[in-house]
A and B are shown apart, each in its own frame.
Chain A
């Protein structure tokens, strides 16, 4: 069964303290890996898509990387406004539909 595991479940950082979130996956034939940010009570906001091992994407203080087994979301010098739950999702082909499996997420809290 396809699985997406995110770690840690929760992370508390001081403002400016860089860290990484992990997303490990087991799918038969990865087609794409997505990162989302979700604020409490809101829908997930799309951040990045990664398609192949070695690929990297950056947006402000966030950088996503991909290997054959996992992805990392690096947060450099985080600010309190980066506090949110970060979701990882993987996509594979399942018949004619591109099935997407989501992880439970990492809840990030950045303390001023």
Chain B
């Protein structure tokens, strides 16, 4: 069966510090991968998605970036965090291909920027 991991689970960072969140998927090959941010009272906001190694699409312009160095690894980064970057970050995967597939989410990372 497939599993998805995210770490760290929680993170408290000062404004202006760098960020690296990691997501890995097990039990599937060539998945589509996604990064979302969930703020209180708001729906999930798609930040990035990837259909393959090195292929990243950005949905929202911001000071965050994403990379996919391996097939089942997805990394969310920032060089300098802003207060507005605080939130709950979720990684998700779906099967690749032309059919329309549900997304499966990881446990999330709670980021607080002070």
Residues of A within 8 A of B (CB): 4, 31-32, 34, 36, 41-46, 49, 51, 87, 89, 91, 96-98, 100-105
Min Cβ gap A10→B in Å is 11
Residues of B within 8 A of A (CB): 6, 41-44, 46, 49, 51, 57, 90, 92, 100-108, 110
Q: Are B43 and A49 closer than 8 Å at their CB atoms? A: no
Write out the residue numbers on chain B whose beta carbons fall within 8 Å of the beta carbon of A89: 44
Min Cβ gap B90→A in Å is 5
Given A41-B110, A97-B57, check contact A91 B43 (CB 8 Å). no
4 A-B pairs with the lowest CB-CB distances in the bound complex, closest first: A43-B105, A102-B44, A102-B43, A31-B100
Cβ contact of A103, chosen from B43, B102, B106, cutoff 8 A: B43
Write out the residue numbers on chain B whose beta carbons fall within 8 Å of the beta carbon of A36: 105
A51 to B105, CA, bound (A): 20
Given A43-B105, A44-B105, check contact A105 B100 (CB 8 Å). no
Write out the residue numbers on chain B whose beta carbons fall within 8 Å of the beta carbon of A32: 100, 102
Given A97-B51, A102-B43, A105-B43, check contact A46 B57 (CB 8 Å). no
Q: Are B90 and A43 closer than 8 Å at their CB atoms? A: yes
Residue of B nearest to A44 (CB): B105
Given A41-B110, A43-B90, A44-B90, check contact A98 B100 (CB 8 Å). yes
A34 to B65, CA, bound (A): 27
Q: Are A91 and B42 closer than 8 Å at their CB atoms? A: no
Cβ contact of B43, chosen from A41, A51, A97, A104, cutoff 8 A: A104
A103 to B90, CA, bound (A): 16
Write out the residue numbers on chain A whose beta carbons fall within 8 Å of the beta carbon of B92: 43
Can you sample 22 A-B contacts with CB below 8 Å? A32-B100, A32-B102, A36-B105, A42-B107, A42-B108, A43-B105, A43-B106, A43-B107, A43-B108, A44-B44, A44-B90, A45-B105, A46-B104, A46-B105, A49-B102, A87-B43, A87-B44, A97-B49, A98-B101, A100-B46, A101-B43, A103-B43
